[in-house]
A and B are shown apart, each in its own frame.
Chain A
Amino acid sequence: MSVLVFAETTGGGIAETSLETVAFARGLDAEVDAVVVGELPHGAAGELAEHGVRTVHHATGDAFGAYSGAAWATAVQAAAGQSRVVLAPGTPRGLEVLAHLAARLDVAMAANVVSVVPDDELVVTRQVLGGSVLEEMQLPDTPALLAVAGHAVEAAPAPAPAVGTVRELTPEVAPADLVARVVSVEPVEAVDSSGLTTASVVVGAGRGAGGPDGFGAVSELAELLGGALGVSRVVTSLGWRPHHEQIGQTGSRISPDLYIPCGISGAIQHWAGCASSKTILAINTDPEAPMVTKATYAVIGDMHEIVPAINEELRRRRG
């Protein structure tokens, strides 16, 4: 049995979420191949081989210069061959490309997959309702299409690296698949200027901030720790902070080493965005708040008193 992973690249190599997906695919006890569409960064094929990928299908051609979900799905389809399962990271592009493939092949697709029970008919476990409920779903079609939830498994090199043979392909793309295509990209720092999704420390603030002026101390704490500021949905919907700072089911999903939510009760919609944090230090007036009971550490009390005190102690120890 062989399975195919749609791998995304960043400037320097293969995206972390794609390497996680490769690690997930290895767990299926199958030969793992991968497909990269467009530019293949130097060393990326070697990186995939280290993670156990047997063949790296590399799709090139004019059609793949600018991003188009439908065209990229054509490349994945061309590489899929007899693959029993096609996997993609649960990123916007991973989900979009996989959905095009699902529609074209008229097969089932599961999103937010966290684990799989391979059998005659594949059964996966996936997150629904923002991760507060799990669903077992059957995917009898071949190929079964799985978008893997972020941090479902950790990326890790394979015990025995594979060869990682690069196979070039230039699939033909139907003109209709190029109609919906990016015509321009405007680099905008504000999209994630603080690096919210990649920061190793995130300080969060919720309704407890009290108003648009209530973020001074939490911003300072984030700065002192070299981290980023994130907020709950209520904060953005009240217009206290911009939407790109929102953590949650309809905002950013974060996975820092340390998350410090201040005055955030921890509703499901917020938890969906921060559940992958390695350590949580909650600051809240309510010891029974879900964010406090789910946290690793907590301080009970008013964030407006506690956070300035922490900032002061940090500055004092630094002299």
Chain B
Amino acid sequence: MTDVLVCIKRVPDVGGEVTLTADGQGVDARHVGFTVSEHENCAVELAVQVAAATGGRATVLTLGPAEAVEQLRSALAVGCDDAVLIEVCEPGSYGPADVAREIAAVVADRGDELVLLGNDAADTGDFQVGIRLAHLLGRPVVNGVRTVAVTDGVLVARGDGVDGVETYELPLPAVATVLEGGVEPRYPSLKGRMKAKKAPIDTRAPRSAPAGSGRVRLLLPPAQPSTVDVLGEGPQAAAAVVDLLERMGVAR
């Protein structure tokens, strides 16, 4: 029986143009939705699979504002059993070390044997919360894996390394960060959605004040005016394209 805690982060769902808040401290999210990273969707799927295979429970956790319950319920709808919200008013003031410390306090309290996180958050891209968490808990950690499975108390994790597919085996309790691509996240069933709507959320206050992320300000990269050279329209442009390929020396 392996209890799995999977950590997710509510991030703005930006597909096109991004605008910033007036103080330059955040993304103006008034006109966009929210989501979690694809890495985390895969981590949720793996958490549900490991819990089901071992008879344990899968719990989803986030540190965020009250609105982050939306992302927790999405994870409940695809099979997580429980949800924990570390509720903070200004999640942006929590740096990766702060977030790791808060998650560590919850894990120490609950005792989940396996903690899964995404490889990196879709917004801040810090690449470090999972490893900081492992150090705080005194647990081994594997990074950027695509699949995990638990057999006889041993975590078997696989991911792409520089020389091929690498396999790690480590004893539980452990921490793993997940990259997209190893599993297909499932869609919520109607039953799952109904269950998620009513599920209680274990809401907790942060343990300590954040040290901060070091953010001075956000800025948009200088807008590049379009300088595109349109070679033509439709198949008639083929000759102009091949002329270009020859000039570039790629049409061998």
A: residues with CB less than 8 A from B are 67, 69-70, 92-93, 95-96, 98-100, 102-104, 106, 108-112, 123, 127-140, 147, 176, 179-188, 191, 200-201, 224-227, 233, 236, 243-244, 246, 249-251, 257-258, 267-269, 279, 281-282, 287, 290, 292-302, 305-306, 308-310, 312-314, 317
Contact = CB atoms under 8 A, between A and B. Distances in A.
Given A96-B143, A268-B15, A299-B233, A136 B164 contact: no
Q: Sorted from nearest, which 7 A-B pairs have the closest CB atoms?
A: A309-B235, A309-B238, A103-B135, A99-B128, A180-B140, A187-B164, A243-B181
B15 A130 contact: no
B165 A191 contact: yes
B123 A129 contact: yes
Interface of B: 12, 14-16, 18, 20, 27, 37-39, 95-97, 100, 120, 122-128, 131-132, 134-136, 138, 140-144, 160-171, 174, 179-181, 213-221, 224, 226-242, 244-246, 248, 250-252
Q: Is the interface of A mostly helix, strand, loop or mixed?
A: mixed
A103 B132 contact: yes
B241 A281 contact: yes
Query: Which of B179, B216, B232 lies at the interface centre, i.e. has the most chain A CB atoms within 10 A of its CB?
Result: B216
A297 B252 contact: no
A102 B239 contact: no
Query: Which of A102, A131, A293, A294 lies at the interface centre, i.e. has the most chain B CB atoms within 10 A of its CB?
Result: A102
Contacts of A292: 228
Contacts, number: 245
Query: Which of B37, B171, B220, B242 lies at the interface centre, i.e. has the most chain A CB atoms within 10 A of its CB?
Result: B242
21 contacts: A99-B132, A100-B131, A129-B12, A132-B14, A137-B214, A138-B214, A179-B171, A182-B161, A186-B164, A187-B164, A200-B250, A249-B122, A250-B38, A250-B39, A294-B228, A295-B228, A298-B229, A301-B233, A301-B234, A309-B237, A309-B238
A185 B235 contact: no
Contacts of B144: 92, 96
A136 B216 contact: yes
A275 B99 CA distance: 30
A98 B168 CA distance: 20
Contacts of A103: 100, 128, 131-132, 134-136
Contacts of A249: 122
A42 B131 CA distance: 33
A314 B96 CA distance: 51
A281 B230 contact: no
